[in-house]
Each structure stands twice: as C-alpha cells, then as structure tokens.
Amino acid sequence: MTHFSPLPMADAPRERSDAARNRDAVMCAAARLVTELGVDAVTMDRVAAEACVGKGTVFRRFGSRAGLMAAVLNGAETEFQERVISGPPPLGPGAGTAERLLAFGPARLRQNLLHGALLEAAASIHGRSHAAYSFNLLHVRHLLAELEVGGDLPLLAAALLSPLEVPVLRSQVEVQHLPVERLEAAWVDLARRVAGL
Amino acid sequence: MTHFSPLPMADAPRERSDAARNRDAVMCAAARLVTELGVDAVTMDRVAAEACVGKGTVFRRFGSRAGLMAAVLNGAETEFQERVISGPPPLGPGAGTAERLLAFGPARLRQNLLHGALLEAAASIHGRSHAAYSFNLLHVRHLLAELEVGGDLPLLAAALLSPLEVPVLRSQVEVQHLPVERLEAAWVDLARRVAGL
DNA sequence: CGTTCAAACGGACCACAGTCCGTTTTCATT
DNA sequence: AATGAAAACGGACTGTGGTCCGTTTGAACG
C-alpha cells in the first residue's frame, strides 16, 4: 500500500490532514475487505463502516464504487506496467521487439484473469478505466510501429487488446472451459498474423 | 412484435392465459418505453406500472432487467441473423466466402453501434447474452473454415468478434472520436490479415 | 490565541434492482 | 357448475449505489 505522492502541483491547495487520514483509512479498509471477502461482497457502506468514516466521505474521495476499485487495483496495475517498461525480458526491454510483443499478450491475459473481478468492477467507470487501458494500447502500438507493421496502428493495437478483455476471457475460461494455455497460444498466433511475423 | 411461438414441447404444461396476456403487455410496454425514453431511463417499476402489472410479474417472466432487455432486443437480433443466413449478398449467401466475411464485420459493427445501449443492458445477464453471441461466433468460424484458414478457429473467430464488442466500439467512437468508416476499414484489414487474404 | 471560511464530514435520504409470500386466477376434473 | 391444486399475481420489503445538505474541522491570518 504505497502512500500516494504528496507531489506539489503548480498552485497546490495542500490536502487537509483529516482528508489524507481518511483517504488512507478508506483505501486500507477497501483493500482489506477485497482480499478478505472478494470484490463482489464489498459494499460501500461496509467500507465506510470499516474505515470509521461516513459514506459521503468515501464517495467524495473516490467518486464511485468503480473509482474505489480502480484505486485498489492501482498497485497491481502499476507493478504490471513496471514489468513491461523496465522489467526483465522477454516482457521488458532487452528482448527483440517481436519477442516482446508475443510475450505481452500472455502476460496481460494472465493479469486480466487474475484481477478479473476487480477490473470489471473498476471498468464500469465509463467503459474502460482510461489510464491503464491506454497504457496497454500505447505499448502495443509502439511495438507494432517498431516492427514496421503497416496499416491503422491504433486500431490494430486495439484489435490485439480486445480479445484480452475480461468478459471475453471469462466466457472462454468459465463457460467454454478452454484452458489458459490454449488462449495464450491463440493470441500469439493472432499477433503473428497481424504483425506479419 | 412477434408472438412467441406456442410451440408444443414434449410435455408442454401449456401457458396460462393471464400469463400470456401479461407477458405481451410487459414486452409492449418495455419496447415502447425503450424507444420513447431510451434504455437507461427504463426502470422495472416503470415497465410494471406501464403494463398495469405487479413488479414481481415482470421479474418472474424475464428474470432480470438484463433478461427483459434481451427480449426487447430479440427482434432486431433475429432480423440481423436472417440477413446473414438468407439475406442478399454480400452479407448473405450468394457472395464468395471471403466477400461474406469482409461484409460481416462492418454489418455487425453497425448493428452493435446502433443497439449499443440495449446490448449492454442485455449483456450483464452473465457477460455476453449467449444466444446472439454464439451465432456470430459460429458464423465467423464457419466462414474461416471454408476459407481453409489454419489455426485455432474458435479462438480466431473470437478474436475477430472481440473488437466489435460494444464497450470497445463506444470508447473508440465516443471517447476517441474515430469515424465509423475508419473502424470498418480497420476491421476489414484485420480480417484480411487473420484469414490470409 | 481568536477569528474566519473553505474544505471536509457524515448520515439521512432517494432511486432502483431484485426477493418474498400471502392472495388471486386459471383450468382440468368431476 | 363446483372444486381443488398448481400457477401466476402484486406490492411491500430489502440491500446497494449514489446524492444532499446542515454541521464540523483545519489551517491561514490577524
């Protein structure tokens, strides 16, 4: 649970101490409840009660349930991004571009499966939780560009990302009972075709 | 608004007359309210009131809000399926397989954009509303097979369908402001790469 | 310190999906 | 018709996300 940076912006109206205290309390409570009870059992009232805080405070801070879940997810998502940006190959730099691309899909796939419920709960904020999603988009797009793939790169990247969306994955794993390894292999195949490898 | 077939099953316990009457009333009310007020403004209480029926009745009949929306959507979705199965080329039979595949994406894309809100409302039933989704999956898979595309066909088909999912589309159109024509072109390009055309 | 006021607080309140269960209706059988 | 049981009915009730607004608190300034 990393303290959010008190990074001083231009004309920072400095966060009030009670606000900071409450925000931490809420985040802690939320994270604890999520791991203890599972995402679906975590209600806003419960979080508020657990944090010894009024419900209004939770909402002012995080805007909505989706916002709160996004905040809880933040840690894992940041860690993933760091693995991509500066972690060891083949996901991180140091491997060839094609190799990195083919490693990205399965990694993201497992990440999405692992945090499926949380991602879903955080997604409804307005469709896709923008920050995290656009990072993935940018990364794939960048790799495609380096591979000198022709075509509409932003949309090609989106096409590679969309089969990794949680609802798609969940349906394949939980309803159709396809093994994860097969999904990974299929994604790699897809990426090869799209990138012309 | 087609009457649902009173098709006689094995040991059909015949639908009661009041049940049939109420079901029609609810469907009518729901459809009317959806077109009049938009999906989001249609509440179950409203539908019940409009149909002069208790709320419990609506839920017994349709299970959930998602179920009701799926029923409302049914007409449009059936029509789409008929266009694919027996409509004019290039979507329907009579055109070459490749041509049909390349026509399917844009058609489905426009369908998803047109009924976006309804599809979303109907989807939360458990992720994807099974009947409609698996039709699309089967169709694409079938076309790929006829094109003698190698690989994991079920998953390749899913990969072609997933960029057409409503949330993806909505984000591209409403947030990124990409024109629909560009999305269509990108999908055609994607399909060409995947099918090796 | 005391004053001031914007910011933060908190819980009553609202709308909506979904459940429950006592009451009513239908219809097959007599 | 009368009867009885299964099916359907309906609306009060519950749980949850989200809002509102009168009250409290923090900290900047005198």
Q: Is the CB of A14 under 7 A from strand D?
A: yes
Phi-psi label, residue A152: left if phi above 0, alpha if psi -120 to 50, beta otherwise: beta
The whole-angstrom separation of Cα B57 and Cα B16 is 13
Q: Give me the residue from B123, B158, B193 closest to A194, CB to CB.
A: B193
Q: Is residue A4 scored above 70 in pLDDT?
A: no
Using the CB atom, is residue A55 less than 7 Å from strand D?
Answer: yes
Confidence at residue B130, expressed as pLDDT on a 0 to 100 scale: 75
Residues whose CB is below 7 A of strand C: A 13, 15-16, 18-19, 21-22, 52-57, 59-61; B 14, 16-18, 42-45, 55-56, 59, 64-66
Q: Is the dihedral of CA B104, B106, B112, B115 positive or negative?
A: negative
pLDDT < 50: residue spans in chain B? 1-9
More confidently predicted of A6 and B190 = B190
Report which of residues 20-59 in chain B place their beta carbon less than 7 angstroms from any atom of strand D.
21-23, 52-57, 59
In whole angstroms, give the CA distance from residue B155 to residue B152.
6
pLDDT at A11 (0 to 100)? 59
- pLDDT tens, position by position, A84-142: 999 999 999 999 999 999 999 999 999 999 999 999 999 866 656 677 889 999 999 99
Question: What DSSP string describes A11-34?
Answer: T-----HHHHHHHHHHHHHHHHHH
Residue A175 clears pLDDT 50, i.e. is over it:
yes
Above 80 in pLDDT, residue A13?
no
Domain A1-63 listed as CATH 1.10.10.60:
yes
Q: Cβ contacts of residue A17 below 8 Å, gap of 6+?
A: none
**Burial degree of A59 (CB within 10 A; 0-12, 13-18, 19+):** middle
Q: What residue segments make up the domains of chain B, in order of their start?
A: 1-63, 64-195
Q: Does residue A167 have a cis bond before it (omega within 30 degrees)? A: no
| Angle between helices B180-195 and A180-195 in degrees, nearest 10 | 100
Range from A7-11, A121-125, A149-153 carrying the lowest mean pLDDT: A7-11
Long-range contacts for A56-64 (Cβ within 8 Å, ≥24 apart)?
Answer: A57/A22, A57/A26, A58/A26, A61/A19, A61/A22, A61/A23, A61/A26, A62/A26, A64/A125
- Tell which of B162, B164, B183 to mutate to test the A interface (max A CBs under 10 Å): B162
Report the protein residue whose CA lies nearest the C1' of nucleotide D20. A56
Q: Which two three-digit tokens encode residue A12?
A: 């920072």
CB atoms within 10 A of CB B67: 16
Question: Which of B140, B144, B155 has the most A C-beta neighbours within 10 Å, making it the best mutation to test the interface with A?
Answer: B155
